[in-house]
Amino acid sequence: MSHASTTTMRGPAPAARRLVEILDGISVAMGKASSVLVLPMMCILVYEVVSRYFFNAPTIWAGDLALILYGIYFMVASPFCLKDGMHIRTDFLYNRWSTKTKGLVDTIIYVFLYLPTHVVFLEIGWKYFYKSFKQNESIVSSPWMPIIWPMKFAIPLSVFLMILQGLSETIKSYYAWRHGVFYWENNPHGGRSEEGDACEAQA
């Protein structure tokens, strides 16, 4: 992991750096793991089409299985997306603000809105999953009727991961606010390369 090429600044405290590294690491690992699901999803659906048209033998499970994987797939990838600053922003004003202002606004929103609402979401999502798990609930709208709770589990799981990544983003924003510099390479501020260049120029 290469840090931003700002040699002039002191950088965040080692503990904060370490924490961000761990939190980002979890999101990236989970995101990469779930990104692989696209391959089995693809193979399952292709198998269904081939078996239906070339062997006249439609399966009853392919569509459902792909659907369950799809539900897990994008939810668990969301923290990865947040870490790379890909949840898009309305940037008209934002882009004109100084790094300090951006950091301040983001810190406030992460602390007072993002984290509390995600904690409540986690509680509700967990209950939603747990009820389904206890009933061993299956998908009724399908002839195969597979169990559904693995997919529902993706809600509390991904929200929990979103909280972890949110903590990391809070630290990053706080640092940007206090020091006027984006320290981390993939900052949460909508930017990859261009934004990074701008930061360095500012620093």
Partner 1 sequence: AQYELKIQTAVPSSSMYFKTMERLGERIEKLSGGEIKVEVFADGAIVKAFEILDAVSDGIVNGGQAWTHYWSGKNPTGLLFAAPTAGLGKGLDQAALLSWAWEGDGHKLLNEYYQEVLGADVVAWMAMPMGPEPFGWFPKKFESMEELTKMKFRSPPGIPSESFREIGMPVVSMPGSEIVPAAQRGVIDAAEWISPGDDLYLGLADVWKHYYIQGLHQVDSIGDVYINKEWFESLPERLQFVIQESMKAAVADQINMNVSVNSAAIKKLVDEKGVQLHETPEDYYKAYMKATTKILDKYSEKDPFFKKVRASLEDWADLTVPYQVQVNGAYYKMGKTALESGAVK
Partner 2 sequence: MEMTFNEMLGMLSLVGLLLAFVSGFPISFTMMFIGLAFGYLGIGKLVFHLMNIQFYQVMSDPVLGAIPFFLFMGYILESAGLMDNLFHSIQKLLAPVPGSLYLAIILTATIFAAATGIVGSSITLLCMMAGPAMARSNYDIRMGAGAIAAGGTLGILIPPSIMLVVMGPLMGVPVTDLFAGAVIPGLLLSGIYIAYSLIRCFFQPQYGPPLAKELRAESMGALVVDLIKGVVPLILLIGATLGSILAGLATPTEASACGALGAFLLVVCYGKFKWENLKGAMYSTAKLSAMILIMIAASNFYGSVFSRLGGAGWLSNQLVSMSLPPMGMVILIMGLVFLLGWAMEWVPIVLIILPIMMPTVRALGIDPLWFAIVYAVTLQTSWLTPPVALSCYFIKGCLPHWQLSDIYRGMFQYIACQAVGIALILLFPSIVTWLPSIIGK
Which positions touch partner 1 (CB under 8 A)?
58, 128, 131-132, 134-135, 137-143, 145, 148
Look at residue 88 and give the partner it binds from partner 1, partner 2, none, a contact being a CB closer than 5 to 8 Å depending on partner kind. partner 2
Could you say which DSSP state residue 93 is in? Answer: T
For residue 73, give the DSSP letter.
H
Nearer to partner 2, 13 or 120 (CB): 120
Nearer to partner 2, 71 or 180 (CB): 71
Which does residue 3 touch among partner 1, partner 2, none (CB within 5 to 8 A, set by kind)?
none
51: three-class secondary structure by DSSP: helix
Instruction: Give which of partner 2, partner 1, none residue 42 binds (C-beta under 5 to 8 Å, depending on kind).
Output: partner 2
Residue 198 makes CB contacts below 8 A (sequence gap 6+) with 191
Q: How far is the CB of 130 from partner 2 (least distance, A)?
A: 12
Overall size of the chain counted in residues: 203
Query: What is the C-alpha to C-alpha distance for residues 35 and 29, in angstroms, rounded to an integer?
Result: 10
Residue with tokens 């898009």: 88
Least distance from partner 2 to the Cβ atom of residue 7, Å: 27
Query: From the CB of 37, what's the least distance to partner 2, in Å?
Result: 8
